[in-house]
């Protein structure tokens, strides 16, 4: 049996994006009432009195979008100060990250995962359900700010959607060549996405690896992280490529985590 020592903490259930594979247009969205969300004191008490005593030492802050949570930097600082905390990370869409990256790093956050499904602003905006001024550049600025602040590893998560962004796989993989960035390709789950993309199926991780292999070659990264990604590397690259095969391969036997919802 795997040791379960990794807690994903949802700081808020809302998001400032509406990614179409997560919250498709037309879908009914039900959010927790603001007064029902865990306060900072309640969250820290749960960690200190419940989760840490039973062996949790690694924490990831998620959402919704965690950076819209008021006081997020202080939450990071408080969790980082627990003597038992061995690892503290965050998953974000990076839209608000440019102005917060250094403060988060200084508060004790060391690893960050950023969603980046396209390098093309129009495709990116279509995926995130945004119809006004493009949000791509602000996200890219957030990624650069995180890199400059010293986050290592800096991981980019790409949900590969057939006919939408799968033609960008090589361009996205190339981001790992000259930078110590870790690009992770996630198999698209068409389940429950009938409003948009639902008839497109999915592209397997092995098919993606073959495209990359044909272009540059591909070697086993000889690295195993804390999550479900299988890690590979373009020969000579500074960063790595990860593949999360939630459709083509079962990785439930590797599960080592629990989730704490925003309302507890």
Q: What is the pLDDT of residues 52-98, one digit of tens each?
A: 999 999 999 999 999 999 999 999 999 999 999 999 999 999 999 99
Q: What average pLDDT does this structure show over 15-24? A: 76
Domains (ranges, CATH) in the chain?
A: 6-260 (3.20.20.70)
Q: What average pLDDT does this structure show over 186-195? A: 66
- What pLDDT is recorded for position 88? 97
Question: Residue 206 region, left (φ>0) first, then alpha (ψ -120 to 50), else beta?
Answer: alpha
Q: Nearest-5° angle of CA 150, CA 222, CA 242?
A: 65
């Amino acid at each position: 049996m795997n040791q379960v020592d990794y807690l994903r903490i949802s700081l808020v259930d809302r998001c400032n994006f509406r990614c179409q594979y997560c919250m498709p247009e037309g879908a009914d969205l039900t959010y927790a009432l603001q007064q029902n969300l865990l306060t900072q004191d309640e969250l820290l008490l749960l960690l200190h009195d419940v989760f840490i005593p039973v062996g949790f030492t690694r924490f990831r802050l998620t959402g919704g979008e965690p950076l819209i949570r008021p006081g997020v930097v202080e939450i990071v600082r408080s969790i980082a100060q627990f003597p038992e905390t061995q690892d503290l990370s965050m998953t974000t869409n990076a839209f608000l990250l440019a102005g917060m990256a250094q403060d988060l790093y200084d508060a004790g956050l060391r690893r960050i995962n950023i969603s980046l499904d396209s390098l093309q602003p129009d495709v990116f905006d279509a995926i995130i359900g945004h119809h006004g001024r493009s949000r791509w550049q602000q996200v890219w600025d957030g990624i650069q700010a995180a890199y400059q602040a010293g986050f290592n590893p800096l991981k980019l998560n790409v949900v590969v959607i057939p006919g939408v962004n799968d033609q960008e796989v090589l361009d996205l993989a190339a981001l790992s060549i000259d930078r110590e960035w870790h690009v992770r390709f996630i198999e698209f789950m068409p389940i429950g996405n009938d409003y948009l993309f639902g008839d497109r199926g999915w592209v397997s991780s092995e098919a993606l690896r073959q495209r990359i292999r044909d272009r540059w070659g591909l070697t086993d990264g000889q690295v195993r992280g804390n999550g479900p990604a299988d890690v590979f590397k373009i020969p000579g690259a500074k960063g790595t490529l990860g593949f999360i095969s939630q459709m083509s391969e079962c990785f439930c036997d590797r599960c080592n985590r629990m989730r704490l919802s925003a309302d507890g």
